[in-house]
Amino acid sequence: MPGLKLEGVGKSFGTFAAVAGVDLDLPPGKLVCLLGPSGCGKTTLLRLVAGLEEPSTGRVRFDGQDLTRIPAHKRGFGMVFQSLALFPHLSVGENVGYALRIRGTGRAERRRRVEELLELVRLPGVANRHISQLSGGQRQRVAIARALALDPRLFLLDEPLSALDAKLREAMQVELRMLQQRLGITTIVVTHDQREAMTMADVVVVMERGHTRQIGPPLEIYRNPASTFVADFIGITNLLPGRATGSDEVTVANVPIRVGAGKELSRGVEVTLSVRPEEVHVLAADAGGDNRLPGEVTFIRDLGASVEISVDCGGLTVLAITTPKERPGARVGERAMVELPPAACIALSS
Amino acid sequence: MTRPVPRGLGQHLVVIYPALMLGVFFIVPFAIMLAVSFFHRVQGGFYEPGFELDNYARFFSAFFARVLGFSVLVAGLAALVSVIVCFPFTYLVTRLGRRWQVVLLVYILAVLSLSEVIIGFSWSTLLSRTAGISNLLVWLGLMDAPAAWSPGLTALLLGLCYLGFPYTVLILYPPLSRLDPQLPEAARMLGASPLRTFFTVVVPAMRSTILGALIMVFVFTLGAYLLPQVLGRPQHWTLSVLITDQAIFQSNLPFAAAMAIFLMLVSLALVGLTMMLGSREALR
């Protein structure tokens, strides 16, 4: 059984269950994002995999081997910490070569490998510099190079980009993903930023209060969220409360809305409709047809590249995102009709 | 004279208050001591103003060189032992839960309230032949006959270290508790065992803290004047003991003042040297 396998792994601190019996199978060579709000247990789960915490329950296996009782320094995993944790008393080169020094690699071989690693993270020729002489982005690269020094079997990153400013972060996401694909290394990234997860991940694990809520490719989770929590956390969505009035029909604000293919709804049950704003169309007030809610435009946010229109439909605010080219003529204060295409409507149990 | 304008009162106070404290409690007493060290001693009496270097000239003898050397050696040794023992202890304390940390720190603060006299006489009893620990070892069958371990150099060092422990812990605690816990964890992930992590990451990352603690404990134990008399033999009496002896029992204040100033200069020079070596090490 290649790859990482978690069997009912849980961790409690006193009476607080940080991670509650997680089962997870990570295929080798993929990048997995543990995604969730702060305090959902994603960092604790990563630390359990790393061996920095001992699980209260369950087992951690890698390539079939039981690692549950193996200490962190014998697991052969590389890790990048949130604070980066670069050793302040060592130079850049000594930081990157620390693992090799511990292992007893010779000085010449060590120097060659350090240069190679710095080359890999596109930071050549800084081996003799002091850590304090580097910028935030450069430190990030040094931390990555250091963690990769021993060709780890598993690469773990705990909110690695949180210290960088927004622009640099976006660039590093792409670079990190390309590096991971080039090396083909199994990687787990902890993040609370859904954009980061969408950019980098092959598989996203959405977590909430110590439980995994949904596991799958990012786009699949985006299009087919399993719960209102997941729908709301991954991207922006309209959550509209309603009641099932047929096997594929939900009544929202007294208007029957047909929903896309999915599990059959039982009549009379309270459900929440999730509709992504880019699927919503804003039409003229007199446009008739099915799956349409009448309302009044309350706000238009024109960002240049996209236009966001808020429409108040009998107390429910529906957000539509469109491009400037397809921008409807509606203005703030005017009546309008919002169309919710059936294929974009996902009924979730409330 | 500065005439405080109401608007600038706060700003003036910022300067005046520390200047006043320094002046009253440090500069004035030090100036008096410096002046007295050059005064003329009246045999059988007190002293009279004057200017002579006799008090300083008395140092340049083999006796005082030996006492000074011994004083510095003992204080240095006590500082070294205190830091070596307390550093791992304090590091482990900072890894404990909040509740245990508070309990241990309160206990250490309690030890701090013991006076040098109590510590000295307690150790002297514990190390004595008639009532000491050796009796316990005899009872356990580990020794043949009880022995007197005090007075002696080991007893003196033991007492000085005991005196220095709580100070060392309190000096080391704040920087150690601020140490990023992810630093040792990063070392663990890079293949270092807990012991290697301690020696290759925790100790070097705390180099300047360790140096600072060494200096503080050194200066602190250098001033101890009761323990050498209680736990040491006359040949173990440090310069601080001689200063006390001259000032209180021989009523030779000018000579005592001269010795005190000399001791201060020597310890300042040593501290300066240590800091210079430390900063050169850090630059490397």
| Percentage of chain A modeled with pLDDT above 90 | 37
B182 touches chain A (CB under 8 A): yes
Which SS3 state, helix, strand or coil, does residue A325 take? coil
Q: Using a CB-CB distance cutoff of 8 angstroms, which residues of chain A are in contact with residue B200?
A: 98, 102
If you write DSSP's letter for every residue of B33-93 in order, what string do you get?
A: HHHHTTSEEPTTS-EE----SHHHHTT-SHHHHHHHHHHHHHHHHHHHHHHHHHHHHHHHH
Tell if the CB–CB gap between A73 and B188 is shorter than 8 Å.
Answer: yes
Residue B114 has pLDDT above 60, yes or no: yes
More confident residue, B75 or A260: B75
B204 touches chain A (CB under 8 A): yes
Nearest residue of A to residue B195, measured between CA atoms: A73
Judge whether B120 and B162 are in contact, CB under 8 Å.
no
Nearest residue of B to residue A89, measured between CA atoms: B205
A162 touches chain B (CB under 8 A): no
- Distance (Å, whole) CA B132 – CA B164: 22
- Distance (Å, whole) CA A291 – CA B27: 88
Q: Which long-range contacts (CB under 8 A, 24 or more apart) does A302-306 make?
A: none
Tell if the CB–CB gap between B189 and A87 is shorter than 8 Å.
Answer: no
Closest Cα to residue B120, out of B78, B72, B161?
B161
Tell if the CB–CB gap between B190 and A85 is shorter than 8 Å.
Answer: no
Q: Give the up-direction half-sphere exposure of residue B264: CA atoms within 13 A in the CB hemisphere.
A: 10
Residue B282 has pLDDT above 60, yes or no: no
Nearest residue of B to residue A86, measured between CA atoms: B183
Which pLDDT does position B77 carry in this prediction?
A: 94
Q: Using a CB-CB distance cutoff of 8 angstroms, which residues of chain B are in contact with residue A144?
A: none
- Distance (Å, whole) CA A200 – CA A189: 9
Q: Using a CB-CB distance cutoff of 8 angstroms, which residues of chain A are in contact with residue B196?
A: 102
Q: Chain A window 8-37: which residues touch B at a Cβ cutoff of 8 Å?
A: none
The sign one gets for the Cα dihedral A184, A185, A186, A192 is negative
Judge whether A340 and A280 are in contact, CB under 8 Å.
yes
Indicate the pLDDT class of residue B65, thresholds 50, 70 and 90.
Answer: confident
Of B191, B193, B197, the CB nearest to A99: B191
pLDDT in tens, chain A (350 residues): 678 889 889 998 888 888 888 898 888 889 999 999 888 889 999 999 999 999 999 999 998 889 888 999 999 999 999 999 999 999 999 999 999 999 988 899 999 999 999 988 888 888 889 998 898 889 999 999 999 998 999 999 999 888 888 888 888 899 899 999 999 999 999 999 888 999 999 999 999 998 899 999 999 999 888 888 998 888 889 888 888 888 788 888 888 888 876 677 778 788 888 899 998 888 887 877 788 888 889 999 988 889 999 999 888 888 989 888 887 778 888 888 888 888 888 888 86
Establish, for the pair of chains A and B, how many residue pairs have beta carbons separated by less than 8 Å: 66
Reported as a single tens digit per residue, the pLDDT across B254-268 is 888 888 888 888 888
Reported as a single tens digit per residue, the pLDDT across A231-288 is 888 888 988 888 888 878 888 888 888 887 667 777 878 888 889 999 888 888 787 7
A149 touches chain B (CB under 8 A): yes
Nearest residue of B to residue A150, measured between CA atoms: B190
A85 touches chain B (CB under 8 A): yes
Which pLDDT does position B48 carry in this prediction?
A: 79
Closest Cα to residue B156, out of B184, B130, B210, B119?
B119
Tell if the CB–CB gap between A77 and B189 is shorter than 8 Å.
Answer: yes
A323 φψ region: left (φ > 0), alpha (ψ -120 to 50), beta (else): beta
ipTM comes to 0.82
A146 touches chain B (CB under 8 A): yes
Which pLDDT does position B5 carry in this prediction?
A: 54
Of A52, A102, A150, the CB nearest to B185: A52
